[in-house]
Amino acid sequence: MVMPDLSVTLGRLQFRNPILVASGTFGYAREMAGIVDFSKLGGIIPKTVTQHPRAGNEPPRTVETPSGMLNSIGLDNDGIDHFIHHHLPYLRTLPTGIIANIAGESEDQFVEMAEKIGRETGLAGLELNLSCPNVAGGLDFATDPRLTGRIVERVRKVCPLPIIAKLTPNVTDIVAIARAAAEGGADAVSLVNTFVGMAVDWRRQRPILGNVTGGLSGPAIKPLALRMVWQVARQAKIPVIGIGGIANLDDVMEFLVAGASAVQLGTVNFYNPTACMRIVEKLPEALAQLGATKIKDIVGTLRT
């Protein structure tokens, strides 16, 4: 039997396989060390960091919804300097690709943080969180194509790392935003971040989340995310990393066939943190079912 080639290349990014774990769902990896074999993963994207420490939003911050989860964490973190001095030394030791994830409150903050991160060693890439729905103004960067393109272009000039633009689904035309990211010099786009939603306690006549609205993730958003990945893969010249309700092998294969070159597992990490390893183990068999020996042979092969 020919051993399949699970490696993937997205612009300047290279991973041993297409299974990554999404920012905000895997901590800074230490939290998963006792149950996940990091060497089996294509890559890890740690929790988003900001320029300065953030306390996050008012609780409650999470609520389970039908086939999904709403969160309004609000990017609580100890800031980029703490990440570099405390978390990055540990992350550098892990046997897989590490992609830092940053969120700025302004264009200049994105550039300043990217420049600082770009001076560090041991990172495979940088993901720009242009689209967090739980922070005031957080959606603005990825709803305007010109702004998206400009931020990516400015970051690319000061940071030597491969750049991934993480985009919001809360727009009318996701393809236009992806094209702008590509024109700005992004190596790939991550599709999609969470959908804005809310949950209500009608008996108390109050919203359940302290922030009123939050980001919806999990299986509930998968059909929507799949459609957006398919659209961008067909109409924008940039590699796509699929995100949205991916929890098992079938989900992964659907995204790959629809046009994603890699995927990120997110919400599933909360209730089945070993899912990523199990999916990697099953990928060769799935490729064989399609008569393929390489991941790239099945990407974007959907017939419509």
Residue 22 and residue 265 in contact, taking contact as beta carbons nearer than 8 Å? yes
Residues 6+ apart with CB under 8 A from 171: 142, 143, 177
- 3-class DSSP state for residue 298? coil
- 3-class DSSP state for residue 275? helix
What is the rounded CA–CA span in Å between residue 132 and residue 48?
10
- Is residue 276 annotated as part of the catalytic site, yes or no? no
Q: How many CB atoms lie within 10 A of CB 163?
A: 28
Eight-class DSSP state of 130: -
60: left (phi over 0), alpha (psi -120 to 50) or beta: beta
What is the rounded CA–CA span in Å between residue 16 and residue 6?
6
Q: Which of 132, 181, 268, 287 is catalytic?
A: 132
Phi, psi of 235 (to 5 degrees): -115, -10
First to last CA, the chain: 32
- 3-class DSSP state for residue 226? helix
As annotated, the active-site residues are 132
